[in-house]
Structure 1
Amino acid sequence: MAGFDVVISAIAVWTPQTFPLHAKMTQHIAELLSGTQTRFFVIGGAGVLYTDASRKTRLMDTPSFPAEYMGVAEATAASYEVLKASKDLIWTYVIPAAEYDANAARTGSYVLGGDELILNGKGKSYISYADLTLAVIDEIGAQKFIGKPFTAVGE
């Protein structure tokens, strides 16, 4: 991976047999990039978002979190833990909004947050794939979330 400014991992595996690949791949790439100036972005899942400023409860730990997403939520959370434990790595963990819409159009507008749940003007945790992609591209230039997570919501 020598010569790359940024590496983005957007792995999406959805079966109990493949869930461990989230952390395994994150660990592998982190080891390859350790000690380099290449930034490593991992696109994760909304399950790790804290529900409020008390930072006591993550979305995935609430009773209303959909059971069918628990496996992937735990798997992406494991990737986040790999990043936090990494040494000498320039990383950013990208947390999509709770509703992540593959078919919606790009609006070019989004609001950023850290690792706490944020809502848009309609009271929803929502973003299109296109707008989250734009937020990632913008963060590559802005460099505000190095060694930290960020989330984004759009209308």
Structure 2
Amino acid sequence: MSGRIVVFGAGGRAGRRAVAEAVGRGHRVTAVVRDPRTYRDLSGDGVSLVAGDVTRAESVAELAAGHDAAINAAGRLDMPSTEFYVSAAHALLDGLARAGVGRLVLVGIGSTLETAPGVAVHDAPGFPEEARAFSLGHTAELDVLRAARTDLDWLVLAPPPVVLDDEAPRTGRYRTGDHRVLPSADGASGFSYADLAVALIDEIESPKHHRSLIAVAA
């Protein structure tokens, strides 16, 4: 059944793929970016391209009104990672509640997944400090979501801690696990943004995981 999905961060690689996957399944999508003039190629049948700020609850509430679900694929490199992701988490919790949206699926990052109890990928010796700081922003976002007293059914989907393939075609196949890094499957080589988008829209159409961090991989 088709519905209305608002995608924050629609101009990035994950966001673009999510928009395309949703439209391909017959959903109507509101694609939210900071400057629509930069992303005019996103416009098309089934897509409304709008300006918005995922760190402002008022903006989230206004743009999400009338939608069935939301995806957050937004990221920023021009401000501290923790500041951005914490602000976005609070704004989404508040704004989506005001708008009456009950389902939120967020794009996570593989470096927050655990390799041992209490040990994330970004805790490994020698992990690049700049990348660790960015990853800790995602961890802080997750802490806000977990601590929230909310009716919002949220989910963070984290792909493997590798560079995702933006060129590989959609296969429609993927595996999910829990908060730990998924072991490599036989014959699997990397993971694509296209199949990450499949997992995102699947979790909106037929939610299987709730209020948790979930690994997704090929």
Matched, 1:153 2:192: no
Q: Deviations over 1:49-95 (max 9, x none)?
A: 0114xx22111111153334112101111111111111122111111
Asked if 1:14 is matched to 2:80, the reply is no
**Correspondence for 2:201 among 137, 141, 149:** 137
Counterpart CA distance in 1 for 2:104 and 2:189 is 25
Superposed structure 1 runs of 4+ greater than 6 Å apart: none
Task: Determine whether 1:126 maps to 2:196.
Answer: no
Cα deviation 1:112-146 (Å, max 9, x = unaligned):
11111003325878311000110111111221111
Q: Note the C-alpha offset of 1:26.
A: 1.6
Unmatched segments (≥5 aa) in structure 1: none
Aligned counterpart in structure 1 of residue 114 of structure 2, from 30, 47, 50: 50
Q: Which runs of 5+ in 2 are unaligned?
A: 1-63
> Percent of aligned pairs with the same residue?
28
- SS of the residue corresponding to residue 51 of structure 1 reads strand
**CA shift in 2, pair 1:81/1:143, >3 Å:** same
- Determine the C-alpha separation between the residues in 1 that align with 2:213 and 2:104: 12
Identify if the C-alpha distance between structure 1 residues 25 and 143 changes in structure 2 by more than 3 Å, giving closer, same or farther.
same
| CA root-mean-square deviation | 2.1
Of 117, 121, 124, 1:59 maps to 121
> Structure 1 residues 70 and 123, CA, compared in 2 at 3 Å: closer, same or farther?
farther
Q: State how far apart, in whole Å, the 2-side matches of 1:72 and 1:103 are.
A: 24
Distance in 2 (alpha carbons) for counterparts of 1:58 and 1:149: 12
Secondary structure, counterpart of 2:140 in structure 1: helix
More helix by proportion, 1 or 2? 2
TM-score, scaled to structure 1: 0.85
* 1:93 paired residue number: 156
